[in-house]
Amino acid sequence: MNNSEGVTIHKAEFNSVLRTYILLYVAFFLFISIIGIPLCIVWLCGVGQWYSRHYFDKLECVLTDKNLRFKKGIIVQFEKTIPLENIQDMAFIEGPVLRHFNLCVLKVETAGGSAHMSHQMSLVGIKDAQAFRLKVLEQRTLLKNMQGNYDNQNVLVDIKESLLRIEGLLKENKK
């Protein structure tokens, strides 16, 4: 698929257990607050199941030849695009609850001069997250190598143009 953000290389799939994790995650935080206990019952009896199903259906993570794009949200849509050349590292986070659900968080760490300039992205529940991480890092390396070759070609073109100008000046001086 070719779009304005590049050619799609891989579209990540999310583990369907993520729906249950979202349902229980929100229920836990509702339950630990006194005011949230009645809401927790409503959440578990239907609203939460509807929300977690639709939230899961809206999740999208796409690796293109230039970017990593992530979309989520039902009422409020959230989309984040990170250029591959800005990705510094991708880390895995697994806690006991995530391990119980056979899930992990893939945290994308990016370059930036300060905390407000750097971009963070946390991807929960990607199937075969290790392989997805490798694909992203391989594409980042490939992109950097291609940009390096392009920069080298530009330098060579600049050198050629300079030599042609020098040659022209030398010819003028001989006359």
pLDDT in tens, 59-107: 999 999 999 999 999 989 999 999 988 888 899 898 898 989 999 999 9
Query: With a threshold of 0.75, does the pTM exceed it?
Result: no
Q: Residue 166 has what pLDDT?
A: 87
Q: Is the pLDDT of residue 42 over 60?
A: yes
Q: Residue 26 has what pLDDT?
A: 92
Q: Residue 118 has what pLDDT?
A: 55
Kindly list the structural domains of the chain, giving each domain's residue range(s) and its CATH number in brackets, ordered by start.
2-174 (2.30.29.30)
Give residue 151's pLDDT band: very low, low, confident or very high (50, 70, 90): low
d(CA 54, CA 73): 9
> Which tokens is 61 given?
């993570």
User: Could you tell me what percent of the chain has a pLDDT over 70?
Assistant: 87
